[in-house]
Amino acid sequence: MTRIGDEVQGPLTLAFDIGGSHLKAGILSPAGAMLQGPSKVATPHPTKPEDVVEALVGLAAQLGPHDRVTIGFPGVVRADYVVTAPNLGTEQWRGFKLAQILHQRLNKPVRMLNDASVQGLGAVSGKGVECALTLGTGFGFALFENGRLAPHLEMSQHPIKTDTTYDHYIGEAALEAVGKKHWNKRVRKIIKILETVINYDMLYIGGGNARLIESPLPNNVRTVSNEDGITGGVKVWDKQMDQSFTEASCAFVTVARG
């Protein structure tokens, strides 16, 4: 196990947060403290998978020693590969084995989850029904019950009205099109819808545009640090998370450890 200084022992996690505008990363202690970073670079455009891999490997080299890797990816993922990438270009990403390739490049075990799921793991208290949203280039969603991650729902692609998905309604492009004031009205509409549909105890909102949400918010809604998208990477390796991975994913991690 890697050590950084005399006070830190145990596995160090290199956590990547892949976004439409930036790629971010940090080295985390076993308790989830940020030891190195966060560091970031602009997301390559066009967002070719091979270019993103090179940028991530470059970030890893900057940050230094680590024992394992977590990837937060903005789309649907299965085991070591990408199913959809709505804001990166799904067709060029579909089936791309990002986790396996990073394992080969970094020679460390790798786990990959949807980016909102990783953000939520960094934010939730573990009590009751909790929901995590990310507001950035697109819209991310994750749901938890007593700290356990529910199966991923790609709410970003659900229509809020005819021919308009959540992504289109409150993503970065919508913010630029309608302005901050009207965008805030849309965010509040989404909050009310999710409160009715999910009956959450707490709702956490992160991502780059969370800082633009105007106060006051309901008592059971709060904005959280954008760094949760990195620091949540430690909890992806908790034992209780094993059941959230498919058998194929766990098999991959076992192979990667060898």
Which one has a higher pLDDT value, 138 or 239?
A: 138
Q: What is the mean pLDDT of residues 91-113?
A: 96
Confidence at 244, pLDDT banded by 50, 70, 90: low
Q: Quick one: pLDDT at residue 7?
A: 56
How crowded is residue 246: how many other Cβ atoms within 10 Å of its Cβ? 11
Looking at residue 254, its pLDDT comes to 42
pLDDT at 171 over 60: yes
CB within 8 Å of 15: residues ≥ 6 apart: 25, 26, 27, 28, 69, 70, 72, 118, 230, 231, 232, 233, 234
252: pLDDT strictly greater than 60:
no
* SS3 assignment, position 247: helix
The answer, yes or no, to whether residue 242 has pLDDT greater than 70, is no
Count CB-CB contacts under 10 A for residue 60. 21
- Residue 120 CB neighbours (<10 A): 31
Concatenate the DSSP letters of all residues of 179-245 into one string.
-HHHHHHHHHHHHHHHHHHH--SEEEEESTTGGGPPSP--TTEEE--TTHHHHGGGGGGSGGGGGGS
Tell me: pLDDT of 147 over 60: yes
Residue-wise pLDDT tens digits, 3-24: 555 456 789 999 999 999 999 9
Residue 70 and residue 54 in contact, taking contact as beta carbons nearer than 8 Å: no
The reported pLDDT for the residue numbered 226 is 87
Helices (H), the chain: 49-63, 90-93, 98-106, 115-123, 166-170, 172-178, 180-198, 228-231, 247-257
What are phi and psi for residue 109, nearest 5 degrees? -65, 145
Residue type, 178: V
SS3 149: strand
CB distance 145 to 135 below 8 Å: no
pLDDT confidence of 240, banded at 50, 70, 90? Answer: confident
More confident residue, 246 or 37: 37
Task: State the pLDDT confidence band at 250, using cuts at 50, 70 and 90.
Answer: very low
User: pTM for this one?
Assistant: 0.90
Residue ranges of domains in the chain, CATH in brackets: 13-117+230-257 (3.30.420.40), 126-224 (3.30.420.40)
Give the rounded distance of the alpha carbon of 1 from its chain centre: 25
Percent of the chain with pLDDT over 70: 90
